[in-house]
Amino acid sequence: MKVGVVGAGINGLISAYELAKCGVKVVIYEKEHYIGGHAKTVTVDDVELDLGFILFNRVTYPYMMEIFECLGVDMETYHMSFSVSLDQGHGCEWGTRKGFSSLFAQKKNLLNPYFLQMIREIIRFKQDVISYLEEVDNNPDIDRNETLGQFIKSHGYSELFQKAYLIPICASIWSCPLAEILSFSAYYILLFFRDHHLLQIFDLPHELLTVRWRSQTYVNKVKEELEKRGCQIRTGCEVNSVSTNEEGCTIACTDGATEVYDGCIIAAHAPDTLKMLGKEATYDETRILGAFQYIYSDIFLHRDKTFLPRNPAAWSACNFLGTMNDRSCVTYSLNIMQNLGDSNLPYLVTLDPPREPEHMLLKWTTSHLVPSVAASNELHQIQGKRGIWFCGTYQGYGFHEDGLKSHLDDCLPFGPPQAGMAAADGMLRRNCRILDNPKHMVPTWTETGAHLLVTRFLKSFIETGCIILLEGGTIFTFQGTDRKCSLKVLLRIHSTQFYWKVATQADLGLADAFIHGDFSFVDKNEGLLNLLMIFVANRDMKASVKRSSKKRGWWTPLLFTAALSSAKYFIQHVSNHNTLTQAPRNISRHYDLSNELFSLFLDETMTYSCAIFKSEDEDLKYAQLRKIRRLISKAKVSAEHHILEIGFGWGSLAMEVVKQTGCKYTGITLSEQQLEYAQLSVEQAGLQDQITFLLCDYRQIPNKDKYDRIISCGMLEHVGHDFIGEFFTCCDSALAEDGLLVLQFISIPDERYEEYRQSSDFIKEYIFPGGCLPALSRVTSAMAAASRLCVEHLEEIGIHYYQTLRCWRENFLKNKRYLNIVNCTVTSQIRSLGFDDKFIRTWEYYFDYCAAGFKTCTIGDYQIVFSRPGNVAVFGDPYNYSPSAYYRV
């Protein structure tokens, strides 16, 4: 497929980028000798300045943020501020940058009843707008053609509110005559205010961002990506016409060159698009594109401070200056917006000044879209009809994000325009994602209290790392000063229930909120992992600074408000203690879910424990076989031995040890599904004469036989604190005199063991009921007290578990996604087994929860060889050593 893209502004570049990623051959045409469109960067006195695309934020620019994060574009923050100065400062003058000192830059306004009324109206305006939009959205019979002027009049707003607040803000966004602003559609303008969170002018909650090394850097990154994918970019190549016939779309340039494409995307202003279509433009194309109107503005880069408010206390990032004759101009302070610091003469950009500024550096002309609701609503009628897709900022409010949305919004050749459809996606006939602007959340009073509690907790708890909460239009940043942990994670809060659950359930509330979709991560791959690692780093920092003799457990949760739920969860955990009657139920709740489910993420051997890797990219199957063979080597198994495996899983070690040594094997399990699967596998391998599987508890091992070797991998974690001694007694009783016991188990550090075992956590509650990770000291003390065994060899392999878990997670999530519904109807394999989205998120949390512990080396995984003292038969030969996981053959 070959596609021509006309226009190398942000619109055209991103369309080409989306197509090129799918293997489409793309050629971009740009009449200028540079690419990037309005992303204009100039250098003045060795200072780089952005003049076109200056500001954005994570909340209202979701597509832009996704592209920047994908390309690795560096960004920096600044706080947006706004000022109004009427009649050269002799009228009303106020600002927001420095709080009350800016708001009351004119001290007389402290006692000015009209100004104080305006402030009250600004506060009331937010609720009026939200109520109006909800009423219109919920009642399709309400006329959406009401103008902004009619809305203002019907709600009784004062003249000062209009002249010193509403009109200045609108004029700062859309550069058009003041009288025309009041004729705009009220619904269209107020919807923009709500979605871009402009109803909170005194306390803009979200930090705004600017490209750290200026906008040309992201343009260059897009260019590099396009060139890597074989995309041609033809600058200085003006397109004269775009026409269609049976062969496809023909693009003709002013230099006489022509080329035929399978399709074309025109990423240009509507008037320029109509000019290129010429006489071939259809009636609908002419009517709809012709309805978009533009206003042209003169823009000056200068250093003339007279284009700022009269009182410096009001100086802000964006400054509206109005005059008595209804003329106005807007001045942007680049020193504030691009973090340039203070300078004697600031760098300023002014649109349509009444006179030419002094200290002028540059002048140019640009166009601004006049919003048209009617035209925007009809765009879908012409998209892709002749193999031509139209995209540009005219498909939204006229900004960069709308340029992206036009690829990711209005371009499918079916259905009405809606956020998330892409021009590239339409051309490829593929389904595309919808990224909505976050809406304002309305918490209950209890959720408001929980919000305050959780944010205060995070502020005091986070001493290292950085957690950012994106909540509607608000961004909360919690960043530590210690550099021990450099991780940074961004959470998108979708429901205020997030705060309530964390406040009332602490860490289990966090898990519950994730499972129910109350929040998600910007980084889908490592966001959850990094969040958990940040919590681990801060927990350990506080533990190292302050050691208390006070016992900790379920009665000391991280948040005191979670004490009740902490007690409840611990009682549930105690009720799951692994007695002879309860143990089978606990095992069944996890291992009897579905053999098909486990086969979706385990390797071919169906091994469900820590593997041992030789390299980062090694196949999981070979890493698991290496671990199994290492256990067999440490057990020193030979053909004459009879092996007992406690907890045989799906039978991988059973078949490997018999194939490798020819020994006799007996395995026990409490999982009926594992037993069924393993027996079938053994029969298919023809090993049923040497392998016996039993549905049996370790406390019920038949005592008629003595076993030369006992191996147990990943089972000790299911025994429980109170039963570890009994486990060793049973092993000691079943083991031959010169026998060996080899265990592999996950272990928690001794310093945290008492607190851990006397409380519940995510794993005990959601994954392994009755489970308990033993501390190494608990294992050795139980061994000494309940058996004659002693430790012969010990090795810690926990760091390999991180890689194992990441492999499982990757395999698991591969099977959760739906395939493209446009091309086929195949659904998720996990869902086809009867598991829902909550189950999938539970297991995603499980994999990352465990991976965080192993990645930070705060939980371990041991392989230990036990024997009785005086075992010369096994250990009498000094050259017959026990192999290590790190030993290279």
Q: Using an 8 Å Cβ cutoff, are 10 and 272 in contact?
A: no
Average pLDDT over residues 274-279: 93
**How many residues are present in the chain?**
889
Select from 790, 771, 782, 778 the least CA-distant residue to 752: 778
- For residue 432, pLDDT beyond 60: no
- For residue 41, pLDDT beyond 50: yes
Residues contacting residue 745 through CB under 8 Å, at least 6 positions apart: 712, 714, 715, 716, 717, 773, 774, 779, 861, 862
Cα–Cα dist 468/492, whole Å:
9
pLDDT at 324: 60
Angle of helix 776-786 relative to helix 724-734, nearest 10 degrees, comes to: 50
Q: Using an 8 Å Cβ cutoff, are 63 and 56 in contact?
A: no
Place of tokens 């392998």: 691
Average pLDDT over residues 86-93: 90
- For residue 565, pLDDT beyond 50: yes
pLDDT at 737: 94
Cα–Cα dist 115/121, whole Å:
10
Query: What is the CB neighbour count within 10 angstroms for residue 131?
Result: 10
Q: State the pLDDT confidence band at 339, using cuts at 50, 70 and 90.
A: confident
Cα–Cα dist 365/410, whole Å:
28
Instruction: Give the residues across from 296 on adjacent strands.
Output: 367
- Comparing 538 with 822, the larger pLDDT belongs to 538
- Give ranges for CATH 3.40.50.150 in the chain: 586-798+859-868
- The average confidence (pLDDT) of the chain is 86
Instruction: Report if pTM > 0.85.
Output: no
Q: Using an 8 Å Cβ cutoff, are 348 and 362 in contact?
A: no
Sign of the dihedral through C-alpha 814, 496, 440, 530: negative
- 756, HSE (Cβ side, Cα atoms, 13 Å): 20
Cα–Cα dist 267/281, whole Å:
16
CA 171 to chain CA mean position, Å: 35
CA 47 to chain CA mean position, Å: 34
Average pLDDT over residues 530-541: 95
pLDDT at 419: 27
- For residue 76, pLDDT beyond 90: no
**∠ CA 543-548-554, rounded to 5°:** 80
Residues contacting residue 398 through CB under 8 Å, at least 6 positions apart: 174, 368, 369, 371
Angle of helix 497-515 relative to helix 563-575, nearest 10 degrees, comes to: 30
Cα–Cα dist 563/760, whole Å:
12
Cα–Cα dist 199/806, whole Å:
43
Sign of the dihedral through C-alpha 413, 419, 423, 429: negative
For 2-74+210-294+367-428, give the CATH class.
alpha beta
Question: Which amino acid is it at 80?
Answer: M
- Comparing 44 with 552, the larger pLDDT belongs to 44
pLDDT at 58: 64
Residues contacting residue 687 through CB under 8 Å, at least 6 positions apart: 655, 658, 659
Place of tokens 């990757």: 810
Query: What is the CB neighbour count within 10 angstroms for residue 351?
Result: 18
- For residue 436, pLDDT beyond 70: no
Element (H, E) at 501: helix 497-515
- For residue 647, pLDDT beyond 90: yes
Select from 265, 292, 482 the least CA-distant residue to 379: 292
Return the structure tokens found at 116.
């104080």
- Give ranges for CATH 3.50.50.60 in the chain: 2-74+210-294+367-428
pLDDT at 197: 67
Q: State the pLDDT confidence band at 338, using cuts at 50, 70 and 90.
A: confident
pLDDT at 177: 66
Average pLDDT over residues 161-189: 82
Cα–Cα dist 507/535, whole Å:
10
Select from 691, 831, 67 the least CA-distant residue to 422: 67
Q: State the pLDDT confidence band at 188, using cuts at 50, 70 and 90.
A: confident
Select from 853, 847, 846 the least CA-distant residue to 805: 847
pLDDT at 384: 85
Place of tokens 């909360």: 476
Return the structure tokens found at 117.
């009324």
CATH architecture of 75-208+295-366: Alpha-Beta Complex (3.90)
pLDDT in tens, 306-327: 999 999 999 998 999 987 666 7
- Give ranges for CATH 3.90.660 in the chain: 75-208+295-366
pLDDT at 460: 93
Select from 488, 114, 150, 97 the least CA-distant residue to 311: 97
Angle of helix 445-461 relative to helix 497-515, nearest 10 degrees, comes to: 70
CA distances to 403, 422, 431 from 428, rounded to whole Å, are 19, 9, 9
CA distances to 226, 604, 804, 844, 854 from 608, rounded to whole Å, are 42, 11, 9, 16, 16
Least confident of 391-405, 585-599, 793-807: 391-405
Return the structure tokens found at 755.
């607190």
Cα–Cα dist 372/735, whole Å:
84
For 586-798+859-868, give the CATH class.
alpha beta
pLDDT at 204: 52
Q: Which range is most confident: 172-181, 371-380, 424-433, 471-480?
A: 471-480
pLDDT at 416: 25
Long-range contacts formed by 354-361: CB under 8 A, 24+ apart: 354/323, 354/327, 354/329, 356/300, 357/300, 357/302, 357/304, 357/306, 357/307, 358/302, 358/303, 358/304, 358/306, 359/302, 359/303, 359/304, 360/300, 360/301, 360/302, 360/304, 361/44, 361/301, 361/302, 361/303
Element (H, E) at 505: helix 497-515
Select from 327, 403, 317 the least CA-distant residue to 14: 403
CA 635 to chain CA mean position, Å: 45
Q: Using an 8 Å Cβ cutoff, are 701 and 730 in contact?
A: yes
- For residue 796, pLDDT beyond 90: yes
Cα–Cα dist 656/603, whole Å:
15
DSSP-derived letter for residue 324 is T
Question: Which amino acid is it at 869?
Answer: P
pLDDT at 423: 60
Residues contacting residue 120 through CB under 8 Å, at least 6 positions apart: none
- For residue 476, pLDDT beyond 60: yes
Return the structure tokens found at 254.
């002013």
pLDDT above 70: percentage of residues in the chain:
87
Cα–Cα dist 394/268, whole Å:
9
Sign of the dihedral through C-alpha 701, 706, 710, 716: positive
Cα–Cα dist 495/443, whole Å:
9
Least confident of 93-97, 498-502, 637-641: 93-97
pLDDT in tens, 506-518: 999 999 999 999 9
pLDDT at 15: 86
Element (H, E) at 458: helix 445-461
CA dihedral 314, 319, 325, 326 (to 10 degrees): -120
Where do the H-state alpha helices sit in 736-825? 750-757, 762, 776-786, 799-814
Instruction: Give the residues across from 263 on adjacent strands.
Output: 3
Residues contacting residue 324 through CB under 8 Å, at least 6 positions apart: 87
pLDDT at 396: 52
Return the structure tokens found at 336.
């504030």
Least confident of 217-231, 276-290, 524-538, 776-790: 217-231
- Quick one: residue 500, left, alpha or beta (phi over 0 = left, psi -120 to 50 = alpha)? alpha
Cα–Cα dist 880/874, whole Å:
9
